[in-house]
Amino acid sequence: MAVSLLSLLSSKLVHPQLQPMVSKMSLLDTFLFYIVHAVDKRGIWHRFPVFLGLAYLGIRRNLNQKYNLKAVGKLAGGRYDIEEFPYRTADGKYNDPDDKVTGSSGTFFGRNMSPSTSRYGLMDPHPSVVAAKLLARKEFVDTGKQFNMLACS
């Protein structure tokens, strides 16, 4: 009975692209999803009292992580001694006590789509060429008698 009621709600209230995701959710997560969805449609979450707003944001983030973000990299694992590395290194390692590689150079962030496996076109044209063309000045632009606050600081 409850499942058929939720599927009826899903067909009427939820965008068709979200329906497959809702069908995979547990009963509690589906109920929480409808609450979050209703609050999002009305746009009132920022008017909630602080603790209710924090609870709303926590539920929303939890649902997003559980059903939307895909793991895109390997878990390198490997806890490390916090006293041995009490800071983040220049290459970004030792940022998370549970995984020393999380957030380091060359690792992926969680995202809601799988990363491209194609290398073609990724570095063509090279980013420095694009930046040079976009940031190059074709002609001198006089700033007039404007005082540059950054120059004097």
Instruction: Please report the pLDDT score of residue 120 as a whole number.
Output: 66
Cβ 112 vs Cβ 68: under 8 Å: yes
pLDDT one-digit tens code per residue, 39-87: 888 888 889 999 999 999 999 989 888 887 555 555 556 777 777 777 7
Considering the chain, what is the average pLDDT of its residues?
76
Q: Measure the CA–CA gap between 97 and 76, rounded to whole angstroms.
A: 12
Q: Measure the CA–CA gap between 106 and 72, rounded to whole angstroms.
A: 12
Instruction: Please report the pLDDT score of residue 122 as a whole number.
Output: 67
Residue 21 has pLDDT above 90, yes or no: no
Beta-strand runs (E) in 21-117:
none
Contacts with 60 (C-beta within 8 Å, 6 or more apart), sequence order: 36
DSSP per-residue string spanning 41-60: HHT-GGGS-HHHHHHHHHHH
Q: Measure the CA–CA gap between 33 and 22, rounded to whole angstroms.
A: 8
Maximum pairwise Cα distance, the chain: 75
Q: Measure the CA–CA gap between 131 and 72, rounded to whole angstroms.
A: 28
- Global pTM value: 0.46
Q: Measure the CA–CA gap between 37 and 43, rounded to whole angstroms.
A: 10
- Cα-flanking dihedrals φ and ψ of residue 5, to 5°? -65, -45
